[in-house]
Amino acid sequence: MKFGYARVSTRDQNLHLQIDALKKEGCEQIFHETASGAKSDRPQLKKLLDRMRKDDVIVIWKLDRLGRSLKHLVTLISELLERKIGLKSLNDPIDTTHSQGRLVFNIFASLAEFERDLISERTQAGLKAARARGRIGGRPKGLSGKAKSKAVVAAALYRDKQTKSIDQILKHVNISRATLYSYLRHEGVEIGSFTKNQKTPKKQMMPVSFYLRVENNSRYVRGKKRSIEAIERFVFSHYNMKKSKVNEHVYNLEIPYTNEKDLDATVYEMIQEADSQADVHNCFIEVDVQALDGSDRSWY
């Protein structure tokens, strides 16, 4: 029996194209949902997988509709093969009901494993070379000389009553908002309401749900825990962070903003900062940010 699965990321997109193609392929039942590809919790996909039996086939429009990442996709398809369930992608050379499609999938799986091994080899070689030169691994403590200079300038601008806005400081010093707050704490500056000579738009607060999943780049490197701690400390702590009691990957935050453009910029800065913190520890992230003000806004 053929089952279809369709997914779009936002409500601004529609499922018509995917559903029409799945019906044309002969799917007897189609499961569909609106959810970000970064989310691990997709109710309709789980319902579909629970429904599947031996010799059934899942049909999808493209592979990216099914998996969050190459690693997740390989794992999911491997589980389907073990259960003797087929997978067919209408726009990719994947059809595990035939030997040629299984061959292509095995090549993808081998490439994913090869990539992880290469990352591991490069990491180990780099660590070995560093130890030979007397260097000890780990992130340097405190700020670098260049960062200290920027911290002094940022603190001076923050204290200066002639400075008109935080945005001016960020532009002048060329740093992100999260980095500015880290610099101010380093210089012992009390972070409070920012005094401006000119009247500026009143700040609003946007409550958001920030889904964050951190994974190691390789099974040989373990930086996941340190990445999460760094992101919580240097990124989320500035936005009234509260961890969800239901999902360990979800954080409830409050983001100050003056307009929609300012809000978008702040969210994407947070994502970039989180990605940078994870990269330092040889990890990567999957994120999805949803507004909690009753609107359909999302960022990822």
Domain chopping of the chain, boundaries: 2-108, 138-200, 204-299
| Sign of the CA dihedral running 118, 124, 128, 130 | positive
CATH architecture, range 204-299:
2-Layer Sandwich (3.30)
Class at the top of the CATH hierarchy for domain 2-108:
alpha beta
| Per-residue model confidence (pLDDT) at position 35 | 77
- Map residue 4 onto helix, strand or coil: strand
Report percent pLDDT > 90 for the chain: 19
Query: How far apart are alpha carbons 298 and 300 in whole angstroms?
Result: 7
Q: Do domains 2-108 and 204-299 have the same CATH topology?
A: no
Q: Determine the pLDDT at residue 198.
A: 47
Task: Tell how strand 298-299 and strand 283-291 pair up.
Answer: antiparallel
Tokens read off for 144: 């670098």
Residue 158 burial by Cβ neighbours in a 10 Å radius (0-12, 13-18, 19+): buried
Compute the mean pLDDT over every residue in the chain, rounded to the nearest whole number. 80
What is the per-residue pLDDT across 117-158, written as a single tens digit (0 to 9) for each? Answer: 655 666 666 666 666 666 555 555 567 778 888 888 888 888
pLDDT of residue 31: 93
The more confidently predicted of residues 246 and 111 is: 246
One-letter amino acid of 214: V
| Stretch among 72-76, 213-217, 250-254, 291-295 having the lowest mean pLDDT | 72-76
Taking the whole predicted model, whether its pTM rises above 0.85 is answered as no
Query: Hey, how many other C-beta atoms are within 10 angstroms of the C-beta on 3?
Result: 20
Give tens-digit pLDDT for 159-182: 776 666 888 888 888 888 888 888
Q: Which residues are catalytic?
A: 9
What residues have CB less than 8 Å from 33, skipping those under 6 apart?
6, 7, 42, 43, 44, 45
Answer for the pair 289, 207: CB distance below 8 angstroms, yes or no. no
Residue 70 banded pLDDT, cuts 50, 70, 90: low
